[in-house]
Structure 1
Amino acid sequence: MILSVPQKSMPSKTEVKNSARLAQRAAALEILYDVVDGINRCPDLDSLLNHSLRVLKEMVGARSATVRTLNSKGEMCLVASLGFDEDDVATRITLPVENCFCNQALSRGELLCKSDPESCSLLTGDAVLDASSSQMIVLPLYYQGATLGVFNLFLDDEGMAKREDVLDLLRRIGHQLGVAVANARQVEELQQHTIRNTRASLAHELHDSLAQTLASLRFQVQALQETVGGTLPVLVDRQLNQIGDGVEQAHTELRTLLAHFRAPMDGNELVSSIQQVVDRFNQDSGINGIFQKECGQVLLPDEVQRQVLRIVQEALTNVRKHANARTARVLLRAVGNHYTVLIEDDGQGLVGHRSKHEGEQLGLEIMHERARALEGELRVESERSEGTRVELSFQCQSVIRSVDVKDVE
């Protein structure tokens, strides 16, 4: 007896379509899960956007991709890019986007596709645009009517940009990431608000306690000098003057500390903040302080900017207290994401004065610690009677960097 082998029936067109649809839904769910997992797992916003950029680039088969966030001045700041040469990515100049195609997606909060990315590249002058691609997908990150950033996906094939299921999935991902960006910014604003309140509280406490005590001591020492001036032995008179100088110096340093605590950090870009520090140095020391910049406006993350300013302040404090200088210079240089801050003076130098000024050595150690916190390098050079040179170098992604004419030339 011969057993017949049952013949498998060919699936119908409906079954094939249903299977394909189920496969697409499964793939879409897997991608959404990957994005949501990144939202929960990534430690910060930049890590999340980098992770999402890789997911989206692989999802649509893009040749290259970028992600940018919109700052308060309406400028797009590059966060991450994939598929570009290092020379192109190094040109991370933040530019206004009023006339850019991306601005249409930003203002509408809608996903848009463009078939000639070269026109955007010519318009913005931005090297981080893949003008040779045949299609660009612009995916805005939006939340509650506000657009917070944008993904640019550059494709060789226009077919993917015409698939409605793919575009619908991109829209859902854009909304999820928009919520994540909004939440991250709210957390950051809350943290900065807490820091400002703490600093203000400390400033009030110092003003109401130590500042009042030092002011009273200044008055008493001045009154004593006026009362017994010229009648005391030379040694006693000298010691009284040293006490007066010490109280005056402590009062000046406390005023500087109070100014640091009260100074608003966010909203002030680094150039104007350093200028304020140098102006205060000129006022308190009588030394000719000069600030020079080789960059445009620079707004760094608050913690980075705070560390840089503290290094500048400590270096200038050392100049005022120990250098016996006539002139001090502060230089800020920015080339791409590389920053250099130079503080130098024409004073007596550090050689031969190490044992005498223990506070100065402590200040240098603190500056080195701050430089390490920036993952940067601090170099101190000094020669007797030839002054001291403190140079800080570090790398950081600027929140905004407007372009000066000198930068372009």
Structure 2
Amino acid sequence: MTAKLVVTAIGLLLLALVSIVLTLWVTWNMQGGAAAVNEAGRLRMQTYRLALILHTSGNGAEARLLARGFDESVALLRQGDPSRPLFVPWSEESRARFAQVGTRWEALRGRWLDEHPDPDLVAESAGFVALVDGFVAAIETQISRWTAVLQMFQLALVGLAVASAMAAFYSGYVFVLQPLARLKKGLAAVQAGDLGTRVEVDSGDEFGELAAGFNAMTGTLQSLYGELEGKVREKTQRLERERQRLADLYEISAFVADAPTLDALARGFAAHLRRIGRADASAVRLCAPDPGRFVLVAHECLPQEIAAAGACIERGDCYCGEVTAHGHTRVIPILDGGRPTLGHCGRAGFSAMVSVPIRVHDRLLGEVNLFYRHPVELSHEDRELLDALASHLASGLESQRAAALEREAAVAEERGLLARELHDSIAQALLFMKIQVGLVRQAAQRGDHAAVERGIAELETGVRDCYADVRELLLHFRTRTSAEDIEPALRTTLQKFEHQTGLPAQLRMEGHGVPLAPDVQVQVLHIVQEALSNVRKHAHARHVELRVCSAPHWTFEVHDDGAGFDPQRPGSDATHVGLRIMQERALRIGARVRVHSAPGAGCTVTLDLPATGPAAAPAPLAEALAR
């Protein structure tokens, strides 16, 4: 483009310079011709003056002066004067006319400068002037020609200017505007999102290079955009897979946490894993007590004959059950004619199986099997997902096991509590009655009827007390608490006490504290019931009051207006047994039992709970009881 512009500009400049030079040259010739016309006019004037001088005075000196001026004018016309400028625009006619003038002057000059010029020479001056006029006319003719040439040059300059303007406009349109319009159209298309737009390259100039650069740019953008779309699509798919994995993990976590039983856990996990792994069937196998066996505990879409035949398999008998504690998730192709196996999966149409170990802390709990009727490949992310799901199942199995152990421990603890209750109350009563039966037998053998009657009365009293203890135990174990408030349970306990004894019992609540935990409420109720039992057995009271204060910490006081006793002096075994039972229960919840009593002044049993809730016993139970 630069070369074109330079060539065009140089061409136009050369044309303008040539035109200007030609115009100046023509103008210079015309100026010289005009000066020559003036000088030739002087010849004519000098001829008239010379003729006039010769005719009037015949002054030879003045005539010679005029002749010398005439000679100078002729010489000037012949030679010219560039400094003026002055020169004759010579042509054949002007040269002929000038030659005639010169020849005629040479002929007349000598005669006119003679001392006695011929009077007829004056008359000949008119003919000489006519020759000079012819010479002037020839010069003017040539000047007219130059004037016509100058006009032609001027018209040519006008035409050149018009043509140059048109050429400039056309060149600008062809070489500048059209390429710019194509580039603008291409930019608009790119702005609209069409990165496949290309601009036609029809020249090798700057606009051609610009168009080529634009095409290269759009090609690069299209490539980058295509790669970007692919990357965005790939990233979106990856994020969607990650989101789905997280959703699957959350779903399995929630399911495992809410599974009520081991069977529900195994069955639900098999169904979820078959859907997540997009398998045709799934199975969950757990290690049997015999480490070489695997038991099928749940399956999903597995044919019934396979489930029945593979309910329990030995390690190494088939592809199932080959997992180890340090194994990893693997894909096992089911090939007919391979190493010896049970062959149930192959006959059912399965062609591949995925084995996922269930382990926790390097301890193998079992495996999960996914069955496929087509070949399958697992990516690293798929293996990680399956391992994570299997770890959730392992955690769920451990939770189920821990819950079972906890329930077993709770049953054992309840049985121990029942045994202690029976030992501390009914067993002692039965021992007392056994002793009384022996005494009655001995009295009967001696014939001591009074002793027999006393023994039978003691037995009736023991049976009645034992029956009361049984009813009291039933009352203890049937008592239910509220997770929010212990007051209803306390009122129910006092109502049953009133019904059994006929004594009025009053409950007084004070303060608004933090509710007690359910397990603490149970122990508190048992301690209160034990205190009421002692009142029923030993106090001979007329009124009982239960005062409860919940702030700043929970305290429970059972007060009666009975006979009372001296806590420092040994009393009945039943009384001490009841107090020991209450102290044992209080130690379980980190509480403390205090007894205030005096003979004839009633008794007050106070249970103090720690201000921040139940704490661990400061010492083992045996040591605390020993002190």
Please tell me the TM-score bracket, short chain as reference. 0.3 to 0.5
Greater helix fraction, Structure 1 or Structure 2:
2
Q: If the length of structure 1 is used for normalisation, what is the TM-score?
A: 0.47
Q: If the length of structure 2 is used for normalisation, what is the TM-score?
A: 0.32
- Higher-RCO chain (CA-CA 8 Å, sequence separation at least 6): 1
Greater strand fraction, Structure 1 or Structure 2:
1
